[in-house]
Amino acid sequence: MAQDKCRSSPQDVKADLKCLMAQYALPSIHSLGPGFQAIDSLEATKTTCAVLKRLNAALETNDTEKLESCFFAEQAFWKDQLALTWHLRTFISRANIAKSLLETKALRMMTGKFEIEGEAEFIHAGPNLPILVCELRFRTESPAATCDGTMWLLPVETQPSGDSTGTTTWRIWILSTRLGELDLHPENESLLRSGGVCSKSEERIETDVFIVGGGNAAMALAARLKALKVRSVMADRNASVGDNWARRYDCMKFHIPTSFCELPYLRYPSELQNRLLTRNDLSTQIRRYAQTFRLDIINSVEIVQTTLDKDGRWNIRFQTPDGMSTAVARHLVQATGIGSQKPYLPPMLKHQAFRGTSIHSSQYRNAKELKDRGVKTVCIIGSANTAFDVLEDCHAAGLQVTMVARSPTYMVPLEYVCDDRSLGAYNYSVEKADRLFMMLPTIVDSQLGRELFSQLASKEPDRYSTLCEIGFPVLDSRHPDAALMHNLIERGGGHYVDTGATALLAEKKVDFVVGVEPKAYTPNGIELSDQRALDADAVVWCTGFADKDVRQTVADILKISLPVDATWGVNEEGDVRGLWRRHLYVDNYWVMGGYTQQHRWYSRLLAHQIKAELEGILPAAYRDVPSAVPACEV
């Protein structure tokens, strides 16, 4: 495997997404005025081609100054996903972009030019953000591959001088490039229906890739690998395929459109497209997926030992009900979930004092189980998605419920999430929506989403006024601290996509206490940080999970100590840390995870990296940082 060019990389340094969003706030094009006219597709395409011509000329002549001048001066991004860096990178500032583009286009032997794909389009990305956007195509020869991309242009108005009037020119705000297909072996969906090769009773299994996990992330990657003619075996601790969902609490449901949750190659049935997916829907689809594509998976697996031999191959010894087996693989993928395996419980005193039932939400099944134990009153610790699901379930069962909201909760109405300008775009085309959202720098995507939700919330400022009046702490999308992407990829939750359960609070059908922390158990409940006692027959801890960083779990899961990169949160470039990419010191160990959109998108990119390595054509990851860019570290 090629060695990385630069071993001292800042791309795993943890940064603060909100700080990055403030540092690189969306441009506001005021000088053109509110009457700036839309441009038809013909004129948009002509203008875009002129910008591309300048860009290509600067690249061809290696002219750094001219290349810089193609980009928007105040703010510019280049996001690359394997096409030129063979890494997942976002370069910020036109000086950094120009230097890195010239270096990587030479490394990848970029042949020909950036060419426009189809027609350019004029859109208003925000009130003061008129842009031209187009899709691109190009080729590289090292390795030989087709690549694609998108380009977002911003207008720049030159000031009138003498007898001349001001003119509008366009500059590149965002250039986004992505590996399309390797010439050596493009994705071949016909391979998906071929038979598996793994026997669950084999004592020794040899495969290209050993995937630890059997959920959506693992399945998506296994299918992508199979389409590239790469052998893989999944090993899951659960007894049956789909148990990762089937074992969740009975009322569990996704709070996002079904189309957003699609796995590669096989859509959910049409009858599930216009409602929220339940745990049974999710479990059934995983089983259907594994059966349809005949993916190799071994269940009831307990890993006993993992070693890396002198030839760089992984040897994984594991126990199943059939006995001990060993898998030998060139690549090892951990797909055991990010922030979903290790329950977090705040420190509490006097654990033995409580006479009732205390469980984490991962142990909760339904309110009936609690009633069968004689429970009449329930205290729910937390106020995010899971907490509201449990609250609704317990209230429906006739239990007296009290929610402990330790801090303000960011409330996002479901209809905001399903708006056509948000995740509702997936209802029209999953592929187009993925290209729209996943080609954007996270710093930009986060702000566009926040701006949209803020606009929607401004149209109904009193939506949560009743909750505020009765003392429940709410952040709505008008609040400057509200940023859903922060909750998703930094906090791993802490928000509620409102599917209706807030009405129980507003109508005073359930109780709540706010701004306090549980400190100790009492015989009849819990003591709060303000010395109040809260009586309850059962306490359900909806406090999330503590395993967003694989450095905290790799030894427990794989039974080996590895110098792996940190995962989750964002780095200085605004990209998610440690997932779907090579790790600095163990470059045939990978982490596959995230949420459903990321499973679908990044499974393809991860599979291509593995395929390239197996074929001996994987370039070194480009880790260079052209110059120091002030960033927001935490």
Give which of 88, 66, 151, 77 is closest to 115, Cα–Cα: 151
Q: What angle do CA 200, 338, 148 make, to 5 degrees?
A: 90
Distance (Å, whole) CA 277 – CA 266 = 16
As a whole number, the mean pLDDT across the chain is: 93
Contact 280, 269 (CB under 8 A): no
Provide the CB-side half-sphere exposure for 435 (13 A, CA). Answer: 17
Q: Are residues 148 and 222 in the same domain?
A: no
- Would 563 be classed as within a structural domain? no
Is 130 part of any domain?
yes
335 has a pLDDT exceeding 80: yes
> β-strands 129-141, 110-126: how paired?
antiparallel
Contacts of 472 (CB under 8 A, 6+ apart): 405, 505, 512, 514
Q: Span 419-429, mean pLDDT?
A: 96
Would you say residue 187 lies in a domain? no
Residue 317 has pLDDT above 70, yes or no: yes
8 occurs within a structural domain: no
Q: Is residue 359 over pLDDT 60?
A: yes
Residue 157 has what pLDDT?
A: 84
DSSP category for residue 353: G
Q: Is residue 418 included in any domain, yes or no?
A: yes
Q: How far apart are the first and last CA of the chain?
A: 33
- CATH code: domain of residue 143: 3.10.450.50
Verify that 328 and 356 share a domain, yes or no.
no
In DSSP notation, 149-166 reads EEEEEEEEEPPPBTTBPP
Which band of pLDDT confidence, cut at 50, 70 and 90, is reported for residue 7?
very low
Model confidence at 10: pLDDT above 60: no
Which pLDDT does position 158 carry in this prediction? 75
Average pLDDT of span 376-386:
98
pLDDT-derived band at 147, boundaries 50, 70, 90: very high
Identify the domain boundary among 525, 541, 557: 541
- Distance, in Å, from the CA atom of 446 to the CA atom of 437, rounded to the nearest integer, reads 10
pLDDT value at 488 more than 80: yes
Give me the helix-helix angle, 41-60 and 94-107, nearest 10°.
70
| Band of residue 9 on the pLDDT scale cut at 50, 70, 90 | low
What type of residue is 290?
A
As a whole number, mean pLDDT of residues 474-489 equals 95
What is the mean pLDDT of the segment spanning 362-388? 97
190 belongs to a structural domain: no
Average pLDDT over residues 261-288: 97
Q: Are 381 and 404 in contact (CB under 8 A)?
A: yes
Q: Is residue 204 part of a domain?
A: yes
- Each residue of 509-539: pLDDT tens digit? 999 999 999 999 999 999 999 999 999 999 9
Greatest extent of the chain over all pairs of C-alpha atoms, in Å: 88
Mean local confidence (pLDDT), 191-214:
86
Model pLDDT for residues 159-174, shown as the tens digit of each residue: 665 555 668 899 999 9
Give pLDDT tens digits for 96-135. 999 999 999 999 999 889 999 999 999 988 888 999 999 9
CB 423 within 8 Å of CB 509: no
Q: What is the pLDDT of residue 165?
A: 60
Q: Can you give the CATH number for the domain in which 606 is found? A: 3.50.50.60
Most confident of 201-215, 254-268, 334-348: 254-268
Q: Please tell me the chain's helix, strand, coil percentages from 3-state DSSP, rounded to the nearest 5.
A: 30, 25, 40
Count CA atoms within 13 Å of residue 337 on its CB side: 17
Q: How many domains does the chain have?
A: 3
Predicted confidence at residue 8, as pLDDT, reads 42
Residues 101 and 126 occupy one common structural domain: yes
Can you give the pLDDT at residue 572?
A: 95
- Based on the domain organization, do 141 and 279 belong to the same domain? no
Residues 507, 380 share a domain: yes
| DSSP character string of 487-538 | IIIIIS--EEEESSTHHHHHTTSSEEEES--EEEEETTEEEETTS-EEE-SE
Same domain membership, residue 154 and residue 205: no
pLDDT in tens, 530-565: 999 999 999 999 999 988 889 988 999 999 999 999
Does residue 251 share a domain with residue 136? no
Domain for residue 104, yes or no?
yes
- 349 contacts 521 by C-beta, under 8 angstroms: yes
| Exposure of 74 in the CB half-sphere (CA atoms within 13 A) | 11
What pLDDT is stored for residue 38 in this prediction? 77
Q: Give the structural domain span for 267.
A: 197-340+571-614
Alpha-helical runs (H) found in 548-595: 554-558
Query: According to the model, what pLDDT value does residue 479 have?
Result: 95
Pair (174, 237) in one structural domain: no
Share of the chain above pLDDT 90, in %: 86
Determine which helix (DSSP H) or strand (DSSP E) holds 395, and give its type and residue range: helix 385-396
Same domain, 520 and 591: no
Residue 631 clears pLDDT 70, i.e. is over it: no
- Are 155 and 258 in the same domain? no
152, 132 in Cβ contact below 8 A?
yes
Q: What is the pLDDT of residue 407?
A: 94
Contact in structure between 171 and 132 (CB atoms under 8 Å): no
What mean pLDDT do residues 583-591 have?
95
The DSSP bridge pattern shows strands 400-405 and 377-381 to be parallel
Contact 574, 442 (CB under 8 A): yes
Residues 491 and 583 in one domain: no
Q: Tell which of 151, 182, 213 closes a domain.
A: 182
Two structure tokens written together for 385: 């998605």
In this structure, are strands 77-81 and 168-182 parallel, antiparallel, or unpaired?
A: parallel
pLDDT score of 633 more than 80? no
pTM above threshold 0.85:
yes
Residue identified by tokens 């991962």 is: 362
pLDDT, average across residues 313-326 = 97
3-class SS letters over 198-241: CCCCCCEEEEEEEEECCCHHHHHHHHHHHHCCCCEEEECCCCCC
Rg over CA atoms, the chain? 26
pLDDT band at 201 (very low <50, low <70, confident <90, very high): low
pLDDT band (50, 70, 90) for residue 152: very high
What integer pLDDT is reported at residue 126 of this predicted model?
83
Structure token digits, residue 614: 């197996």
- Within this chain, do residues 120 and 227 fall inside the same structural domain, yes or no? no
